[in-house]
Amino acid sequence: MDNCIFCMIAGHTLDARVVYEDDLVLAFDDITPQAPVHTLIIPKCHYADMSDNVPPAVMTALFTAVPKVAALKGVDTTGYRVIVNNGRDASQSVAHLHVHLLGGRSMSHGMVSFG
């Protein structure tokens, strides 16, 4: 999709620190990390959010990539937080579905924040 920065990253026309890639998804480090490990996992095709008729295979690929990325980033044994900010009320700021994987520090028990 034109003017979507995550589509550009998926298409390798915008630089990112890529951590993992397969046929359906790409993972790259967040440009403004909220934890020592903060990686985003995105579908390569454009879906605005989880309510954008995401095919089950893509949803599966996204979440199957999570433990793989956690292992690649070295947080699989220490734990990590997985967040999807979905839509306006969740303050989603990039309208291309993405999963945040955060780790490398202790996080409070709040369900909905990076904190």
Residues of this chain that bind ligand AMP (CB under 6 A): 5, 16, 30-32, 40, 85, 91-94
Least Cβ distance, residue 80 to ligand AMP (angstroms) = 15
Which among 38, 46, 96, 98 is annotated as catalytic?
98
CA distance 10 to 4: 10
Least Cβ distance, residue 82 to ligand AMP (angstroms) = 12
Q: Give 52 or 85: the residue with its C-beta nearer to ligand AMP.
A: 85
CA distance 83 to 67: 14
Q: Give 52 or 92: the residue with its C-beta nearer to ligand AMP.
A: 92
CA distance 6 to 14: 8
Q: Give 61 or 86: the residue with its C-beta nearer to ligand AMP.
A: 86
Instruction: Find out whether 49 and 93 touch, Cβ atoms under 8 Å.
Output: no
CA distance 79 to 92: 24
Q: Indicate if 109 belongs to the active site.
A: no
Instruction: Find out whether 89 and 114 touch, Cβ atoms under 8 Å.
Output: no
Least Cβ distance, residue 44 to ligand AMP (angstroms) = 15
Instruction: Find out whether 103 and 73 touch, Cβ atoms under 8 Å.
Output: yes
Residues serving a catalytic function are 98
